[in-house]
Amino acid sequence: METIKIKYFSQDLEKLAYIDGKSDWIDLRASETVTLKAGDFKLIPLGVAMELPKGYEAHVVPRSSTFKNYGILQVNSCGVIDGSYCGDGDMWKMPVYATRDTVISKNDRICQFRIMENQPQIQFQETPSLEGKDRGGFGTTGVR
């Protein structure tokens, strides 16, 4: 089992919890109340900083209900927090775009994360052709 050092920027923010058997994604919460108008961009503070284990990174994505409940989109689709973002002031944030007027209250669960091992070192070998089946460049059906 890996151990992650975590700093909370607010004592009244609900603590993170790993719920074994339910999901291996961990919910993150807004650490302040945020009011957005349609078309606004905001970095929503998540109230935590972490020191990830060596060789790991965190992937941050919206919860499945985030758009339905708040009308916000995470503008980088999937946020990647590498292991070097681990300082005392490196609070995690979620970059969002509001599609409608909305209010996100402090402690609302708006996104989730999981840690992943860093990609191993790879090298590319150029070749004039590949041996796999040509699917026409359009997924499994090859239909355009």
- Could you report the per-residue pLDDT of 40-51, keeping only the tens digit for each? 999 999 999 999
Residues of the chain above pLDDT 90, percent? 81
The mean per-residue pLDDT over the stretch 12-32 comes to 88
Q: Which pLDDT score, from 0 to 100, does residue 62 have?
A: 97
113 neighbors 58 (Cβ within 8 angstroms): yes
Predicted structure pTM score: 0.85
pLDDT grade for 134, boundaries at 50, 70 and 90: confident
Q: Which pLDDT score, from 0 to 100, does residue 140 have?
A: 63
Q: Which pLDDT score, from 0 to 100, does residue 138 have?
A: 66
Determine the Cα–Cα distance for residues 40 and 52; give it in Å rounded to an integer.
Answer: 31
The mean per-residue pLDDT over the stretch 125-143 comes to 77
How many C-beta atoms surround the C-beta of residue 101 within 10 A? Answer: 12
CATH of 26-117, one of 3.20.10.10, 2.70.40.10, 3.40.50.150, 1.10.150.120: 2.70.40.10
- Reply yes or no on whether the pLDDT at 142 is more than 70: no
The two structure tokens encoding residue 94: 């979620």
How far is residue 61 from each of residues 74, 109, 112, measured CA to CA in Å? 7, 12, 6
Q: Which pLDDT score, from 0 to 100, does residue 133 have?
A: 78
Catalytic residues: 82
The two structure tokens encoding residue 13: 């923010």
The mean per-residue pLDDT over the stretch 101-114 comes to 97
- Could you report the per-residue pLDDT of 50-99, keeping only the tens digit for each? 999 999 999 999 999 999 999 999 999 899 999 999 999 999 999 999 99
Q: Which pLDDT score, from 0 to 100, does residue 48 have?
A: 98
- Reply yes or no on whether the pLDDT at 137 is more than 80: no
Determine the Cα–Cα distance for residues 97 and 37; give it in Å rounded to an integer.
Answer: 9
Secondary element (H or E) of residue 116: strand 109-117
